[in-house]
Amino acid sequence: MKVILITGAAGFIGANLAKTILGKEQDVRIIGIDSMTDYYDVSLKQSRLEELQEFADFIFVRGNIADKTVVQEVFSEYRPQIVVNLAAQAGVRYSIDNPDAYIESNLIGFYNILEACRHSYDAAQADPGAAYRGVEHLVYASSSSVYGSNEKVPYSTEDRVDNPVSLYAATKKSNELMAHAYSKLYGIPSTGLRFFTVYGPAGRPDMAYFKFTDKLVRGEKIQIYNYGDMKRDFTYIDDIVAGVRKVMEQPPKENEQGVRYKVYNIGNHRPERLLHFVELLEQCLLEEGIITKAAEKEFLPMQPGDVYQTYADTQELWRDFGFRPDTALKDGLRRFAEWYKNYYGGEREKK
The parts of the chain modelled with pLDDT lower than 70 are 129, 346-351
pLDDT at 350: 41
Find out whether 228 and 299 touch, Cβ atoms under 8 Å: yes
End-to-end CA distance of the chain: 44
Q: Rounded CA gap, 96 and 306, in Å?
A: 11
Rounded CA-CA distance 101/108 in Å is 10
Instruction: For residue range 211-253, list pLDDT tens digits in order.
Output: 999 999 999 999 998 988 899 999 999 999 999 999 999 999 9
Output the CA–CA distances (angstroms, integers) from residue 291 to 191, 227, 276, in the order listed.
42, 24, 18
The reported pLDDT for the residue numbered 351 is 43
Domain boundaries in the chain?
Answer: 2-196+234-269+311-326
Just give the CATH number of 2-196+234-269+311-326.
3.40.50.720
121 catalytic residue (yes or no)? no
pLDDT recorded at residue 298: 92
pLDDT of residue 345: 83
pLDDT given at position 241: 98
DSSP string, 169-203: HHHHHHHHHHHHHHHHHH---EEEEEE--EE-TT-
H/E stretch holding 6 reads strand 2-7
Catalytic residue among 94, 111, 155, 168: 168
Residue 236: partners with Cβ closer than 8 Å, 6 or more residues away = 198, 199, 200, 268, 325, 327, 331, 332, 335
